Amino acid sequence: MKKPTRVNHPPPVQVPTDNHPLVAPIYQTVKFEFESLEDTERFLRGERPGFFYSRAANPTTRQLELLLAELQGRADCLVTASGIGAIAQTLLGLTKQGDHILCFVETYNPSRYLIRRVLGRFGVRHTMLSIEDLTGIEQTLAAQKTRLVFFESPTNPVTKIADLGAITRLARAAGALSVLDNTFAGLHQHGGYEIDLYLHSLTKYASGAGDVMGGAVIGRAELIRALRNDFGALGGILDPHAAFLIQRGLRTYFLRYRAQCVSALRIAEYLAAHPAVERVHYPGLTSHPQHALAAAQMQDFGSIVSFDLRGGSAAARRCADRLELFALTASLGSAESLIVTAQMMGGRELSAEQQRQSAISEGTVRLSIGLEDCDDLLADLAQALDAAS
Ligand SMILES: *Cc1c(COP(=O)(O)O)cnc(C)c1O
């Protein structure tokens, strides 16, 4: 074999079948081969297991899918290149022209854009309410046949809690699917509710390190089976190397999530007692208007703490600029603490009434609590709030 041939046909290394790596290898390959044409044909007819082309399936991404499904308490999962990719492909896979979606003012901006602008172009209609408006939800579902209810809990940024029991009951009675973007709550929460599909940005808590993007849709087997072909055709798959990094992140998911919740509660309590702060939004605080609902639905309240400064937007801007340990950028669930101001949150396309419902004020600031020592974070907040007020 000449060397230009050899570099394309390297010496194989076989790991004995009774000799296991503790960490599964990354199958960084697009193609898989069978021993014979007959086996290839049997695979393509669905008569034998195996892998063939990584856009359809890959062992590294498949292991992540099975793990995520188990964490969320469902049978199956599909992973994608980003969280919004999972949402886009799921909504495209579930809807057709003329269908109606019920969604909410408090929904993540790019998801609202997808429903209003992208699906709207294909004749998918929607109604947008406030997540607190259970009467409106009931009336809308009674008034028109609805394909799915798309919602989040806690909501971004002011951590409103969706009443999962009530919403899923109403959706089921109306023959609509319940689709929950569960990114803020995390993979270990809300599994006990009659949610048909869970969506996650794996970019956040799952990866945890802020260095890789991914998304997932999780649900019962027949729903995921129905989506699988469309996902293959839409093509927004997760790369095996990214899947490996996310799975590595998941090893410390519970430790990180719970440590961040402990710091988040301490910070929320500190802010609630601070004279410059008008109001704190954290579901773990007993003063949160829906604390009882949150405590009934969740084991952990998350790492997002928002608050409204008495000094409005000027105070929020000063506070954001003065913080040294909180990076001024989007996202959540990573090792570093982050801060976002109301002006960075978008929502400009909402009507005045919808903006009021979203409960974001000029002085709203959203913190994402990381893994730094909590005393350092509190000291940083203290000096920034001094400067802001
Ligand atoms: C970040 C986020 C997304 C989108 O995820 P990406 O991985 O950034 O594409 C969707 N929903 C929520 C609630 C998010 O916070």
Looking at residues 188-217, what average pLDDT do you find? 97
Query: What is the 309 CA–ligand 1 centroid distance (Å)?
Result: 26
| Ligand 1 contact via 84 beta carbon (within 6 Å) | yes
| Ligand 1 contact via 106 beta carbon (within 6 Å) | no
Q: Residue 355 has what pLDDT?
A: 85
Q: Residue 358 has what pLDDT?
A: 86
Distance of alpha carbon 311 from alpha carbon 278, whole angstroms: 9
Per the listing, tokens 């901006």 go with 109
- CATH 3.40.640.10 residue ranges of the chain are 37-250
| Per-residue pLDDT at 345 exceeds 90 | no
Looking at residues 125-154, what average pLDDT do you find? 98
Per the listing, tokens 């001094």 go with 386
| Per-residue pLDDT at 354 exceeds 90 | no
DSSP label at residue 344: G
Q: 346: pLDDT confidence band, cut at 50, 70 and 90?
A: confident
Query: What is the 245 CA–ligand 1 centroid distance (Å)?
Result: 18
Least confident span in 74-83, 115-124, 346-355: 346-355
Q: Residue 240 has what pLDDT?
A: 98
Q: Residue 228 has what pLDDT?
A: 96
Query: What is the 336 CA–ligand 1 centroid distance (Å)?
Result: 17
| 84-126 confidence digits (pLDDT tens) | 999 999 999 999 999 999 999 999 999 999 999 999 999 999 9
Residue nearest ligand 1's atom 5 by CA: 83
Looking at residues 321-333, what average pLDDT do you find? 96
| Ligand 1 contact via 368 beta carbon (within 6 Å) | no
- CATH 3.90.1150.10 residue ranges of the chain are 253-388
Query: What is the 276 CA–ligand 1 centroid distance (Å)?
Result: 31
| Per-residue pLDDT at 147 exceeds 80 | yes
pTM: 0.96
Q: 349: pLDDT confidence band, cut at 50, 70 and 90?
A: confident
| Ligand 1 contact via 153 beta carbon (within 6 Å) | no
CA 271 vs CA 10, 146, 274, 279, 379: distances in Å: 60, 41, 5, 8, 12
| Ligand 1 contact via 201 beta carbon (within 6 Å) | yes
| Ligand 1 contact via 219 beta carbon (within 6 Å) | no
Mapped to the 3 state alphabet, what secondary structure does 8-51 carry? CCCCCCCCCCCCCCCCCCCCCCCECCCCCHHHHHHHHCCCCCCC
Contact 288, 281 (CB under 8 A): yes
| 254-308 confidence digits (pLDDT tens) | 999 999 999 999 999 999 999 999 999 999 999 999 999 999 999 999 999 999 9
Instruction: Quote the percentage of the chain above a pLDDT of 70.
Output: 100
Per the listing, tokens 């927004």 go with 236
Looking at residues 332-354, what average pLDDT do you find? 88
| Ligand 1 contact via 239 beta carbon (within 6 Å) | no
Q: Residue 351 has what pLDDT?
A: 86
| 60-78 confidence digits (pLDDT tens) | 999 999 999 999 999 999 9
CATH of 37-250, one of 3.10.180.10, 3.30.470.20, 3.90.550.10, 3.40.640.10: 3.40.640.10
User: Would strands 148-152 and 177-181 be described as parallel, antiparallel, or unpaired?
Assistant: parallel
Residue 375's identity, in one-letter code, is D
Distance of alpha carbon 316 from alpha carbon 309, whole angstroms: 6
| 5-63 confidence digits (pLDDT tens) | 998 999 999 999 999 999 999 999 999 999 999 999 999 999 999 999 999 999 999 99
Residue nearest ligand 1's atom 2 by CA: 201
**Closest-CA residue to 377 (of 267, 249, 278, 241):** 267
| Ligand 1 contact via 65 beta carbon (within 6 Å) | no
Query: What is the 352 CA–ligand 1 centroid distance (Å)?
Result: 25
Q: Residue 71 has what pLDDT?
A: 97
Looking at residues 187-194, what average pLDDT do you find? 98
| 221-232 confidence digits (pLDDT tens) | 999 999 999 999
Q: Residue 245 has what pLDDT?
A: 98
Least confident span in 199-208, 311-320, 351-360: 351-360
| Per-residue pLDDT at 348 exceeds 90 | no
CATH of 253-388, one of 3.30.70.3000, 3.40.50.720, 3.20.20.60, 3.90.1150.10: 3.90.1150.10
Q: Residue 343 has what pLDDT?
A: 84
Active centre residues (catalytic): 55, 108, 181, 204
**CA 214 to ligand 1: nearest atom:** 7
**CA 203 to ligand 1: nearest atom:** 7
Residue nearest ligand 1's atom 7 by CA: 83
Q: What is the mean pLDDT of the chain?
A: 96
